[in-house]
């Protein structure tokens, strides 16, 4: 029995290979408790072969600043890199903008002698005896030395000394071996900050299945022991599963180009899908900190069913990013919530039927929803309009801002609240269709259940314009990724749960740029760079020197179970708006002027009614 479990801010979703769905309120004080309860309810006594898990523990710990006390050891003169950051500002014309407080206070930033040149050659040797004494209050240490992406020797020497003193040490060459000191330092610090907490959490899941795998931000599963050492790669853990499943459903419905729209109780995640695959990103940001790790290009905003609605001091209506979460939740949950939310507005408007029973909560209280809105002096239609505008901006960010016309894309709506708002968003962007997948309310858990085991590796290329040995280096990195992707059992390269699909697919790519540029494009080969540059930027300089900045390799082992292989859910029926379609894990709102027809794989395809 295989199980997928996705922990969200409001609900935890569990889906099994036989199509069983369990949805229950999350337990923020102990996120693993809801996972354990969900698995127990779904399996009912049977043994669990594999648990594929998407977790918000890393994300929430970073947002709430609940990580370990962390120190930074870096090259002389570079202690303030994490505070200086880049010259760009989040709000260009706001002189009072406040950046996130660095995770490492100034007193815990230590410098060490020794230096490498830009080509990786040693300029000044490192003296181990000069490795500084770290404050006893520190629980974890990030080591990020200049140009360690080219030669990790100095970092390893410092790490050996610190590990010998009993510290949990994260080195940049193990986390993000790429150029750009600020981004590499930030990623390493975040990883060190999260590791003690995430390691403890993931170890606590060990008894739930014979094999426990965790989704990374790049959309692939890794063993818990790998995830525990690299928690910075988990900040988009659950949303990545949803984006993968949405891409598969959209392609089956004839829309290889689409946008996934996952609206849950706490946040909304959107991702551009092209050619049947979610768009990748080499650099993401979480809680204001850049993370230079492989990831899907998922854009997250604080807008969900539990987003709080209020009037600001100027009398303007504001929705989110604060959320009622799982406890107390929206007023209609009857758990003590007093501030109105988006869900309360949807209930008051009749989009969610009065008395609807949510898992673990009982019937919704529509009177409590209206009373909360009335106390705040809010119109439910206004609340929905404001949150829709916020989500529309997010959809534009991953389409229009990428040079992609949304009028040629379908909107794949899922999550508990996504199908309630999708048609209005598609209307605003001129998108021709909305696809509501089967099991839309738990699609991220479905995506986890059906995701491949995957390892992504990256290495800096010191040669830049010198491409000699490039093919051999790519092949070696690909083989390293293949070995890392082999199944494990008792420390050996085999896996009980994947014996029926042992094949490992390996792909490689390059980060390239023209000499003098400060940004790169990822291509399969140097010869493809000019065409990709023309496609992305409108021009190419075919006579210019092409520099290779980094090598990438991905090895993946497909799951024996695909999204489309799950037992079909109850049949859907044609519907003409305005109408409410209440399902076990979500509610679909079909507004006037729209109609829905059953589509492939059990999807409901909504289009404008042309009659």
Which pLDDT score, from 0 to 100, does residue 502 have?
56
Average pLDDT in the chain: 91
* Distance from C-alpha of 444 to C-alpha of 447, rounded to nearest angstrom: 5
Residue matched to tokens 């072969």: 49
Which pTM was predicted? Answer: 0.89
Burial string for 13-46 (b: 16+ CB within 10 Å, else e) reads bbbbbeeebbbbbbbbeebbebbbbbbeebbeee
How many CA atoms within 13 Å lie on the side-chain side of 77? 5
Nearest to 75 by CA among 104, 109, 105, 108: 109
Nearest to 473 by CA among 552, 546, 528: 552
Nearest to 225 by CA among 259, 246, 198: 198
Structure tokens given for 579 = 């109408």
Which pLDDT score, from 0 to 100, does residue 56 have?
86
Q: What is the CA radius of gyration of the chain?
A: 25
How many CA atoms within 13 Å lie on the side-chain side of 346? 32
Torsion-angle region of 393 (φ positive above 0: left; ψ -120 to 50: alpha; else: beta): alpha
With a cut of 50, list the residues of the chain below it in pLDDT: 488-501
* Distance from C-alpha of 590 to C-alpha of 592, rounded to nearest angstrom: 7
Distances (CA, A) of 329 to 344, 373, 416, 483, 518: 10, 14, 14, 45, 45
Structure tokens given for 171 = 């080195």
Enumerate helices (H) and strands (E) in the chain, giving the number of each: 15, 35
Give per-residue pLDDT as tens, 130-165: 999 999 999 999 999 999 999 999 999 999 999 999
Nearest to 317 by CA among 308, 328, 304: 308
Residues 6+ positions from 126 with CB-CB distance below 8 Å: 112, 113, 114, 153, 154, 157, 158
16 secondary structure, DSSP code: E
Contact 407, 279 (CB under 8 A): no
* Distance from C-alpha of 451 to C-alpha of 446, rounded to nearest angstrom: 9
Which pLDDT score, from 0 to 100, does residue 273 have?
97
Rounded to a whole number, what is the largest CA-CA distance in the chain? Answer: 81
Distances (CA, A) of 44 to 5, 20, 38, 532, 566: 15, 11, 10, 52, 19
* Distance from C-alpha of 61 to C-alpha of 235, rounded to nearest angstrom: 10
The pairing of strands 211-215 and 604-608 is: unpaired
Contact 586, 415 (CB under 8 A): yes
């Amino acid at each position: 029995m295989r199980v997928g479990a996705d922990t969200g801010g409001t609900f935890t979703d569990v889906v099994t290979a036989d199509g069983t769905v369990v949805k229950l309120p999350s337990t923020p004080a102990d996120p693993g408790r809801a996972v354990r309860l969900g698995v127990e309810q779904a399996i009912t006594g049977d043994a669990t072969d594999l648990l594929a898990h998407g977790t918000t523990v890393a994300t929430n710990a970073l947002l709430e600043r609940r990580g370990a006390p962390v120190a930074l050891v870096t090259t002389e003169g570079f202690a303030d890199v994490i505070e200086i950051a880049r010259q760009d500002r989040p709000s260009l014309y706001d002189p009072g903008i406040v950046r996130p407080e660095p995770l490492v206070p100034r007193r815990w930033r230590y410098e060490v002698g020794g230096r490498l040149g830009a080509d990786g050659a040693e300029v000044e040797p490192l003296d181990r005896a000069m490795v500084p004494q770290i404050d006893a209050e520190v629980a974890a240490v990030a080591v990020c030395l200049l140009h360690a992406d080219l030669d990790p020797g100095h970092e390893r020497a410092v790490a050996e000394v610190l590990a010998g003193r009993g510290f949990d040490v994260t080195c940049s060459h193990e986390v993000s071996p790429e150029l750009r000191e600020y981004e590499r330092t930030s990623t390493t610090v975040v990883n060190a900050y999260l590791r003690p907490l995430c390691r403890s959490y993931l170890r606590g899941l060990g008894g739930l299945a014979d094999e426990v795998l965790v989704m990374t931000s790049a959309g692939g599963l890794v063993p818990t022991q790998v995830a525990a050492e690299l928690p910075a790669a988990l900040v988009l853990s659950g949303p990545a599963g949803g984006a993968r499943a949405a891409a598969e459903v959209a392609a089956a419905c004839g829309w290889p180009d689409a946008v996934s729209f996952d609206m849950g109780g706490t946040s909304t995640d959107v991702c551009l899908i092209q050619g049947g695959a979610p768009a990748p990103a080499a650099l993401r940001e979480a809680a204001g900190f850049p993370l230079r790790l492989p990831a899907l290009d998922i854009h997250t905003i604080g807008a969900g069913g539990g987003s709080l609605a209020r009037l600001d001091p100027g009398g303007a209506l504001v929705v989110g990013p604060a959320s009622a979460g799982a406890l107390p939740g929206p007023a209609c949950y009857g758990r003590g919530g007093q501030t109105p939310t988006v869900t309360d507005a949807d209930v008051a408007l009749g989009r969610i039927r009065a008395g609807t029973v949510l898992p673990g909560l009982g019937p919704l209280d529509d009177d409590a929803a209206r009373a909360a809105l009335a106390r705040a002096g809010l119109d439910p239609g206004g609340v929905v309009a404001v949150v829709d505008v916020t989500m529309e901006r997010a959809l534009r960010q991953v389409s229009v801002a990428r040079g992609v016309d949304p009028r040629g894309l379908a909107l794949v709506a899922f999550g508990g609240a996504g199908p309630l708002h999708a048609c209005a968003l598609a209307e605003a962007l001129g998108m021709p269709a909305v696809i509501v997948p089967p099991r839309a309310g738990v699609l991220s858990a479905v995506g986890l259940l059906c995701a491949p085991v995957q390892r992504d590796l990256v290495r800096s290329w010191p040669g830049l314009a010198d491409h000699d040995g490039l093919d051999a280096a790519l092949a070696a990195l690909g083989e390293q990724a293949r070995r890392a992707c082999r199944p494990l059992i008792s420390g050996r390269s085999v896996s009980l749960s994947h014996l029926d699909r042992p094949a490992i697919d390996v792909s490689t790519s390059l980060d390239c740029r023209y000499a003098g540029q400060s940004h790169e494009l990822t291509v399969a080969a140097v010869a493809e760079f000019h065409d990709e540059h023309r496609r992305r930027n409108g021009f190419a300089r075919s006579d210019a020197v092409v520099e290779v900045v980094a090598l990438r390799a991905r090895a993946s082992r497909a799951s024996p179970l695909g999204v489309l292989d799950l037992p079909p859910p109850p049949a859907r029926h044609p519907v003409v708006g305005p109408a409410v379609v209440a399902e076990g894990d979500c509610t679909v709102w079909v507004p006037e002027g729209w109609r829905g027809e059953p589509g492939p794989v059990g999807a409901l395809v909504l289009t404008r009614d042309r009659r």
